[in-house]
Amino acid sequence: MTEKSALGVGLLGLGVIGSHVAARLLDPTTANAFGRPVELRRVLVRRLDAPRSVALPDGVLTDDFTDVLEDDGIDIVIEAMGGEHPALDHLTQLLSRGVSVVTANKEVVAKHGPALMAAARSSGARLRYEASVGGGIPIIGPLQDDLLANDISSVRAIINGTTNYILTKMSQEGLAFGDALRQAQELGYAEPDPANDIEGRDAVYKLAILASLAFHTTVTPDEVHCEGITALEADDFQYAHELGYEIKLLAIAQRIDGAVQARVHPALLHRETMLAKVEGPFNAVEVEGDLVGPVVFHGRGAGPAPTASAIIGDLLALARGEDSAPGVQMGQRGPLPVRPMRELETQYYLRISAADQPGVLAQIARAFGDHTISLASVIQKDADDRAGTADLVITTHPAREAAMQAALEDLKGLSVLTAVHNLLRVEAA
Amino acid sequence: MTEKSALGVGLLGLGVIGSHVAARLLDPTTANAFGRPVELRRVLVRRLDAPRSVALPDGVLTDDFTDVLEDDGIDIVIEAMGGEHPALDHLTQLLSRGVSVVTANKEVVAKHGPALMAAARSSGARLRYEASVGGGIPIIGPLQDDLLANDISSVRAIINGTTNYILTKMSQEGLAFGDALRQAQELGYAEPDPANDIEGRDAVYKLAILASLAFHTTVTPDEVHCEGITALEADDFQYAHELGYEIKLLAIAQRIDGAVQARVHPALLHRETMLAKVEGPFNAVEVEGDLVGPVVFHGRGAGPAPTASAIIGDLLALARGEDSAPGVQMGQRGPLPVRPMRELETQYYLRISAADQPGVLAQIARAFGDHTISLASVIQKDADDRAGTADLVITTHPAREAAMQAALEDLKGLSVLTAVHNLLRVEAA
């Protein structure tokens, strides 16, 4: 090894991700990849006396951010704390001071990416965030550089491993949502408080980042329509299968007529599409470019090792002085108009229960017809003789979301309708 | 647009790929992506009077390479000629002179990549070749940079769209090889002379490039074991399906005990693996890293538009002065030993015909036992009563290639054996 000066690294956060990264940086073979020694100089933690899975050199741990900020021997800081605060404040201070940062923090990047880029630009620092979406799957890099010749029309992704694990279990084993969630928690694929994942917020952050990069604009999390997976039932999977579909939590961003439409919700996907075949905790991102066509990136979307792959990849890029700006950054061309959800045009799947008696189908069909929605199929399922009701599974031809919601309101006003179980969107191949 | 000077571009070759690239560069909106005008200054062709699908400005066409080489207004040259000669000579002269090059030429990069990199390094020029493997799928970039934190143990790929189209037709429609090939030729997925594709040479070039990058070494095409798909028959697909497999032309490079083993051959793959699901002319590359686990890149592996995506992506990277070296280059750590094919350890599928009489199975089983190969299944198929023979489909537990070939020789010596149809390798998930 040549006698290069050591690369000074600071680390914010020593949870499962931070500990994995720290262990890798402390491994003596890591210096080979960097072509110089790597010195982990400071690690910021909340509590100095918490038990640790990784043995750090004396004097490295600190609970005072100033120790990291003011250490002039630190060239690059890795942020693995997660959450908006205090991470945002720390990153802003570091970048403003000229210290480059690698972050895995999807929430901060999704909400404040363009502001952080601006802080970095003004000081000559750099900000990399490959780990914020899709674990170790290279997706930020390809969008920033490799696919830059393309006009990208859509990004469709399965970017939450927790929900994909739950949906895979429900689909393959007929489990109820609650049982699948419990299994995911037992295996560590879901957190004790799973709300952020199962309600779709985690996917919203990641989609905001992907859409901002793909369309060279700024898509904020609150511009992304969001529905989680908690209302899905075993029956939905059974009927979807009969119709030739899988159900996935999709994150979709499309550029339509100069506007952006971004949404996270469960959707029916043709069984033969690549995204329908993504199983368990895996993630996949499909990018549609005008030249390249559809490209799919598939791999483990979470976990300490895959996340460390992305973080250390970013660290290597910064360390070797690849200091020219990436081909495109979030927010580069300024904001685009957001196309409201009511203007979405897609096919729908609706599962309802209604009285099992003559004339019911005509009333239901009229509610759709009144809003010029054309039905693709109506299948009667599971008659409940005692209650005198039957399940109806209805699919539509492409229709406007506004019309569909209006038809749904009309349906709810019908006395023959006993329950609306689920309205799902059908994603065309 | 700021008043930046134009980017001067030269182009070698004006076939389908070159024409598509030229049209894109001449499109006035292309300047937006580059942030400056793009001037296509010279296009080298073999015959000046050939018909052209793209209208070039006067004076751009030339049949003299010197016009490109000596035009000081040319900043970057795109090579889209294909083939080893004269492309190798042209690239060597350009790079030695300090002119950066973007190439789509898998043969030249596979055979001469490290020498061309050296020529580029000595003059300060750069060489990019994303288009040489997998069309527009980003794979060179991720291996050079994004996945650099990983110790990569294997690359498994479907990187020839022609053969994957043929195999998909044979698998899904039960076509004979010749019929599937003809269909592929009619649709333009196979060339009039398809030898390079169906005999596996095209995939060998691409695998040599991927393996060299993944393992930071030099793997030359003649170090890659190569078998094509011409011996496959409809029966093989039927039996593979019955056993739960698909048959794909796989390109596999593995690092084993400090050596590299690289091979292109048809293989049986479990139906549920991602690679088994790659259909028609699509390509996919699966990289296994110690941190990231398995990552799959999937998309259109050929065609003028996907290839132009990669070429113009490389051109953009060079044009914006991203002139630091990539994280790793072919040949970086020098050559690794090549593990010979006879040391391969894998499972096997063998289809033979033998006399349909008592004691035959015992003779066949003994031939395997003599070489300590353990059988996983023996299935008798399709007895031909008139000939008094039956097809036998045999699968083995993991065995050495050397032992398997020796057992095959012994089998051929048995008088009861009437034909050896196919010996295929079974790739474990």
Residue B167 confidence (pLDDT) above 60: yes
Q: Which of A292, A324, A328, A329 to mutate to test the interface with B (most CBs of B within 10 A)?
A: A292
| A150 contacts in chain B (CB < 8 Å) | 136, 309
Domain A140-299, CATH: 3.30.360.10
The neighbour count for residue A396, using CB atoms within 10 Å, is 21
**What's CA B340's distance to the chain center, in Å?**
20
Contacts of B7 in chain A (CB under 8 A): none
Q: Which two tokens stand for residue A360?
A: 């019911």
pLDDT of residue A324: 61
Residue B326: band (very low, low, confident or very high) from pLDDT cuts 50, 70, 90:
confident
Alpha-helix residue ranges (DSSP H) falling in B132-259: 140-141, 161-173, 177-186, 195-198, 201-214, 234-242
For B:302-331, CB contacts with A below 8 A are 305-306, 308-313, 315-317, 320-325, 327
The arithmetic mean of pLDDT across residues A377-403, rounded, is 92
pLDDT of residue B3: 58
Type of residue numbered B289? G
Query: What is the predicted pLDDT for the residue at A1?
Result: 40
User: Is the pLDDT score of B322 beyond 70?
Assistant: no
Q: Which amino acid is at A393?
A: V
Known catalytic membership, residue B206? yes
CB nearest B141 (choices: A137, A141, A292): A141
The pLDDT of A314-329, averaged and rounded, is 80
pLDDT at B330: 86
Architecture of domain A341-427: 2-Layer Sandwich (3.30)
pLDDT of B246 above 70: yes
pLDDT in tens, B253-302: 999 999 999 999 999 999 999 999 999 999 999 999 999 999 999 999 98
Q: How confident is the model at residue A122 (pLDDT cuts 50, 70, 90)?
A: very high
List, by residue range, all CATH 3.30.70.260 domains of chain B.
341-427
Given a cut of 50, whether residue B409 has pLDDT beyond it is: yes
pLDDT, tens only, A213-255: 999 999 999 999 999 999 999 999 999 999 999 999 999 999 9
Query: pLDDT at residue B352 above 60?
Result: yes
Beta bridge partners, A247, equal A268
* pLDDT digits 0-9 by tens, B76-101: 999 999 999 999 999 999 999 999 99
**A289 — contact with chain B (CB < 8 Å)?**
yes
Is the entire prediction scored with pTM above 0.90?
yes
Q: Out of A316-325, B10-19, B144-153, B160-169, which region has the weakest mean confidence (pLDDT)?
A: A316-325
How far, CA to CA in Å, does B340 sit from each of A340, B122, B260, B263, B400?
A: 60, 34, 9, 10, 11
| pLDDT recorded at residue B428 | 86
- State the amino acid at position B112 in one-letter form: H
- pLDDT above 50 for A422: yes
Q: Is residue A429's pLDDT more than 80?
A: no
Tell me the nearest-neighbour CA distance from B139 into chain A, angstroms: 9
Give me the mean pLDDT over the B170-188 stretch.
96
- CATH number of the B7-128 domain: 3.40.50.720
**Side chain identity at A158, as an amino acid letter?**
I
Q: What is the CATH number of domain B151-299?
A: 3.30.360.10
Q: What percentage of chain A exceeds 70 in pLDDT? A: 98
pLDDT per position as a tens digit, A80-112: 999 999 999 999 999 999 999 999 999 999 999
Of B138, B292, B295, the CB nearest to A146: B138
Q: Which two tokens stand for residue B184?
A: 């592929």
Contact yes or no for B177/B233 (Cβ under 8 A):
yes
**CB-based contact A306 B300, cutoff 8 Å:** no
pLDDT at res. B2: 45
Find the closest chain A residue to B32 by CA distance. Answer: A149
**In the prediction, which pLDDT does B1 show?**
40
- Residue with the larger pLDDT of the pair B202 and A31: B202
Whether B291 sits inside 8 A of A312 (CB atoms) is yes
Q: What is the pLDDT of residues A124-146, one digit of tens each?
A: 999 999 999 999 999 999 999 99
Please indicate whether residue B275 or residue B386 has the higher confidence score (pLDDT): B275
Average pLDDT of every residue of chain A? 95
Q: Decide if pLDDT at A18 tops 50.
A: yes
For the complex shown, is ipTM > 0.85?
A: yes
Instruction: List the strands of the sheet with B127-128, edge to edge.
Output: B61-62, B38-44, B7-12, B76-79, B100-103, B127-128
Is the per-residue pLDDT at A2 higher than 50? no
pLDDT for the residue numbered A3: 57
Q: Chain A contacts of B305, Cβ < 8 Å?
A: 290-293
Residue pLDDT, tens place only, B339-350: 999 999 999 999
Residues B162-180 have a mean pLDDT of: 98
Instruction: Provide the token pair at B200.
Output: 């596996």
Mean pLDDT for the stretch of residues A314-338: 83
So what's the pLDDT on residue B303?
92
Q: What is the pLDDT of residue A323?
A: 53
Q: What does DSSP assign to residue A63?
A: S
Q: How confident is the model at residue A182 (pLDDT cuts 50, 70, 90)?
A: very high
pLDDT at B387: 86
Q: In sequence order, what are the residues at sequence separation of 6 or more whose Cβ sits closer than 8 angstroms to the Cβ of residue B317? A: A145, A148, A327, B128
Tell me where in chain B the CATH 3.30.360.10 domain(s) lie: 151-299
d(CA A339, CA A261): 5
In chain A, which residue's Cα lies nearest the Cα of B287? A299
Indicate the pLDDT class of residue A321, thresholds 50, 70 and 90. confident
Numbered ranges of CATH 3.40.50.720 in chain A: 7-128
Cβ neighbours for B187, distance < 8 A, ≥ 6 positions apart: B165
